[in-house]
Chain A
Amino acid sequence: MTRATSPAQPLVEAPDQSSRAKRSYTLLAGCVLAGLIFLLALVSLFWLPYATDDTSGGRLTGPATDHLLGTDKLGRDLFTQAMTGSRIAVEAGLGSVLIAAALGVTLGVLTAFAQGWLDDTLSAFLDILIAFPTLLLAMLIVAARSATLGSAVLAIGIAQSAVVARLVRILVKRVLAQDYITAARTSGTSWPRIVAGHVLPNIWPTLVVNLALQFGLAVLAEAGLSYLGLGAPPPSASWGRMLQEAQATFTTAPAGALAPGILLVLLVIGVNLIADGLRDTLDPATRRRRA
């Protein structure tokens, strides 16, 4: 038997550290992309190139110096619409996620603590809510109230809260099984204090990442609903509505559809990148290794 010459392998260039660096680039890239949209949304609150109902620009002009993205079929400035659309998208994302977080965390924590029949009932309720189509929920809410951004956000928020609740339930159960919870109990810590002091801090990182993802989904859902006419009513220009209005003239004047489409993609990719980047930056163990 001849001995194979030992194939001394060169050490791989610390991929661990470079991947960590990559992660912080991910976060940065995400912040830049999403930040761009947030900036547009913020500026739209104070300044717009044209009024939203200004139809003086001529119809479907195409990009020019006075109308950066051109005008739509009614002569309204597309850039103005894209800006108000950004505002609506951000509002929709934040509003839905706030509702989803508030409702979802409360429900999730409650179901994690529930036992026996109560646990079964609450779980079944969540499963139904998850299976219930957001579209149908939105139609019901619009029927009960009216077609506004608020109705759309409420529908999306409620639908997402079920998903968040189920995640929170699993996360809380996992934390409750830890010995430090038993230690807290034998130290006389009350349940509310255990939830606030041990459970929430420990589920927080995973929750935040998930909520960032939900933000992206909410933005998409709002665009979908307003495309169907279930979102903010005219003249407020949501991206979904812009897409819908530009659909007929897409071949002749593509800017009307491309602008909201691209902005939508940028925002969703942006928040997803942020979610990715957040994943480890929130862990004290990785924080230490970085230092």
Chain B
Amino acid sequence: MTPAVEATTPVLELDDVALRYRGSTAPVLQDVSLAVAAGHSLALVGESGAGKTTLLRLLLGLARPTTGTVRFDGEALRLRDAKLMRRFRGSVQCVFQDPYSSLDPRRRVGATVAEPLRSLGIDSRRTAAPKVAEALERVGLPADAARRYPHEFSGGQRQRIAIARATVCDPRVLLADEPVSALDVTTRVKVVDLLAELQQERGLTIVMVSHDLSVVASLCERTAVLERGRIVEQGDTAQVLGDPAHTYTRRLVDSVPRLPV
């Protein structure tokens, strides 16, 4: 155990976690250990069925591992501990893949963005309004966006709204589930830039689940590669994607279609 690791407690940590759904024989996740250091960014890479989404649900406190521990600030995450969970929910927020499914179509954008503030009991409707306006401005949306409905916005704008919601309560960790894979290339670049900006300016810790290696490479310092419920490789992104040690990672990297030079 090196003192450097000892110095800071990871914000989120999975310790030898396994998850098996009721009635199924094969575990969805197995022997998964990883740590997310504060202010750093981690990518969870893998293809469909690798267990990325399940892993994310564990990190979000939406599911409980069959064995192993999920830790938040070094403390085991107990989903029934209301006080702990409130602190957790205020610190860990999420952006989802599908910007159409992630916004309630019958709610005005303002109410959607205000939801974490209201639900965590941080603000009343009135005191939330300026924070919502600020969050919307931060993601580059016009001030009148709060009064409009989601369907009035494009996919990229909707993803910005989702990011505004996830950052309005000033969380320390932002979990992002394939945040740009539903977007066009040009929009994709802009949203990646926005996330990078938030990460730098607000010292946000970002954990991103993605199958898009170029997005991972542009945003995350560390990468963990998931194959069939196990982490086959993890380390610095440059190392993992630049010089893959595992054949699966190598195959992923080689599969990315590239433009003619």
Q: Do chains A and B touch in the complex (CB under 8 A)?
A: yes
Give residues in A with beta carbon < 8 Å to B: 178-180, 182-190, 193, 197-198, 201-202, 284-285, 288
A-B contact pairs, 30 of them (CB 8 A): A178-B102, A178-B104, A179-B97, A179-B98, A179-B101, A180-B101, A180-B104, A182-B60, A183-B115, A183-B165, A184-B115, A184-B119, A185-B62, A186-B92, A186-B93, A188-B85, A188-B86, A188-B89, A188-B120, A197-B107, A201-B106, A201-B107, A202-B104, A202-B105, A202-B106, A284-B105, A284-B106, A284-B149, A288-B149, A288-B151
Q: Do B96 and A182 have beta carbons less than 8 Å apart?
A: yes
Q: Do B119 and A288 have beta carbons less than 8 Å apart?
A: no
Give residues in B with beta carbon < 8 Å to A: 60-62, 85-86, 89-90, 92-94, 96-98, 101-107, 112, 115-116, 119-120, 149, 151-152, 162, 165-166, 169
A189 to B152, CA, bound (A): 25
Contacts of A182 in B (CB 8 A): 60, 62, 94, 96, 102
Contacts of A186 in B (CB 8 A): 60-62, 89, 92-94
> What is the predominant secondary structure among interface residues of chain A facing chain B?
helix
Contacts of B98 in A (CB 8 A): 179
Contacts of B116 in A (CB 8 A): 187-188
A3 to B112, CA, bound (A): 56
Can you name the residue of chain A whose Cβ is closest to the Cβ of B98? Answer: A179
Q: Do A285 and B105 have beta carbons less than 8 Å apart?
A: yes
Give, as a whole number of angstroms, the nearest-CB distance from A228 to chain B: 43
Q: Do B162 and A183 have beta carbons less than 8 Å apart?
A: yes
Name the one of A180, A185, A188 contacting B102, with C-beta atoms under 8 angstroms.
A180
A185, A186, A190, A285 — most chain B CB neighbours (10 Å): A186
Name the one of A187, A201, A288 contacting B93, with C-beta atoms under 8 angstroms.
A187
Q: Do A190 and B119 have beta carbons less than 8 Å apart?
A: yes
20 new A-B pairs (CB below 8 Å) besides A186-B93, A187-B120, A285-B151? A178-B101, A180-B102, A180-B112, A183-B94, A183-B96, A183-B162, A183-B165, A184-B104, A184-B115, A185-B62, A186-B62, A186-B94, A187-B89, A188-B86, A189-B115, A193-B119, A197-B107, A202-B105, A202-B106, A285-B105
